[in-house]
């Protein structure tokens, strides 16, 4: 049976380091890491995500601010708020919760955030740094960054000689994951819905990262024996065994099948998910250290 990669445990390690480093920054420079989260509208899932980010920031000893704006907020007003947060010396990380209402151009808002405060890693400056290997000065999107940390715990930092396949080419996960694996010396293929004979390609992978949003798509016969499997998917499917109308969370990988073939695999929930918010805290801490002119800790 495969080793189950414990994302919750690794996330707790990251958060412990963030707490200690934040306290040290406050003691030595008087700078308290500050994060501002902006949410527009009443989307219930977004409300839950934002609340959890605020709680985690306060747990880390951060100055945490939430701006909750009505659904009909204009693009102009949202840009003005982001620009005011760019100029606020108490705020080191800015996070605008997506999706935004349809009348607001998400791309415009993301590019309005200062690259130095872009703790989501979506600004073109940070995307460009990651794509050209300037990882030390880039903010890397939190889910791929967390996935990479889980891989390092299993395989180490140097992945030379290993073949990696990433299923999914999104700007948020697939493409940054490709660049991170490449920077760690893996030989990387990025696959997607137009890839021919996807299962055969996946069977060549020593490292398989699934980020497509299709429940339990990756089966045992897609996986090379002994491979390390990172499941980024979070899908809700019916669970009649729990009662009428009940659901449960599953990944893009059929965990029970994968565990019979893989060397190591992340579960859903409890794998990549906890790492995402932990890396958001780490990115905010790094932004605060940089603003104070101090060398940030490594994660």
pLDDT in tens, 121-167: 999 999 999 999 999 999 999 999 999 999 999 999 999 999 999 99
Q: How big is the CA angle at 223 (ends 221 and 228), to the nearest 5 degrees?
A: 160
Contact between 125 and 115 (Cβ < 8 Å): yes
Which residues participate in catalysis according to the annotation?
A: 53, 97, 120
What is the arithmetic mean of pLDDT over 214-243?
94
Q: Give me the CATH number covering residue 216.
A: 3.40.50.720
Domain range spanning residue 154? 141-273
Q: Give me the CATH number covering residue 96.
A: 3.40.50.10860
Residue 168 assigned to a binding site: yes
Q: What is the count of structural domains for the chain?
A: 2
Residue 121 assigned to a binding site: no
Model pTM score: 0.95
Residue 104 assigned to a binding site: no
Lookup result for tokens 């999107």? 141
- The structure tokens listed for 177 are 């994951």
State whether 74 and 190 are in the same domain: no
295 located within any domain: no
- The structure tokens listed for 144 are 């791929």
Q: Report the range of poorest mean pLDDT among 41-50, 173-182, 192-201.
A: 41-50
294 located within any domain: no
> What is the tens place of the pLDDT at every residue in 98-117?
999 999 999 999 999 999 99
Residue 21 assigned to a binding site: no
State whether 98 and 162 are in the same domain: no
Contact between 211 and 174 (Cβ < 8 Å): yes
């Amino acid at each position: 049976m495969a080793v189950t990669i414990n994302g919750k445990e690794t996330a707790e390690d990251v958060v412990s380091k963030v707490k200690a480093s934040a306290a040290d920054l406050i003691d030595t420079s008087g700078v308290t890491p500050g994060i501002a989260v902006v949410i527009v509208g009443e989307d219930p899932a977004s409300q839950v995500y934002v609340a959890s980010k605020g709680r985690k920031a306060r747990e880390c000893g951060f100055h945490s601010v939430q701006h909750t704006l009505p659904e009909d907020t204009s693009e102009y007003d949202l840009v003005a708020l982001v620009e005011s947060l760019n100029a606020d010396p108490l705020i080191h990380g800015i996070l605008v919760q997506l999706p935004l209402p349809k009348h607001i151009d998400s791309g415009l808002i993301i590019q309005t955030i200062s690259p130095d405060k872009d703790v989501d890693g979506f600004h073109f400056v940070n995307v460009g740094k990651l794509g050209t290997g300037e990882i030390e000065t880039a903010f890397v999107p939190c889910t791929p960054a967390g996935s990479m940390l889980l891989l390092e715990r299993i395989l180490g930092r140097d992945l030379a000689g290993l073949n990696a396949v990433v299923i999914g080419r999104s700007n948020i996960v697939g493409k940054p994951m490709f660049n991170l694996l490449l920077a760690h010396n893996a030989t990387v293929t990025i696959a997607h819905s137009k890839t021919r004979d996807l299962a055969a390609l996946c069977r060549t992978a020593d490292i398989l990262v699934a980020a497509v949003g299709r429940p339990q798509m990756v089966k045992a016969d897609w996986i090379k024996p002994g491979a390390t499997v990172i499941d980024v998917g979070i899908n809700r499917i019916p669970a009649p065994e729990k009662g009428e109308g009940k659901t449960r969370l599953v990944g893009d990988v059929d965990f029970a099948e994968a565990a019979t073939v893989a060397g190591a695999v992340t579960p859903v929930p409890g794998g990549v998910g906890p790492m995402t918010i932990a890396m958001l805290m780490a990115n905010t801490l790094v932004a605060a250290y940089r603003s104070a002119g101090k060398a940030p800790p490594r994660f």
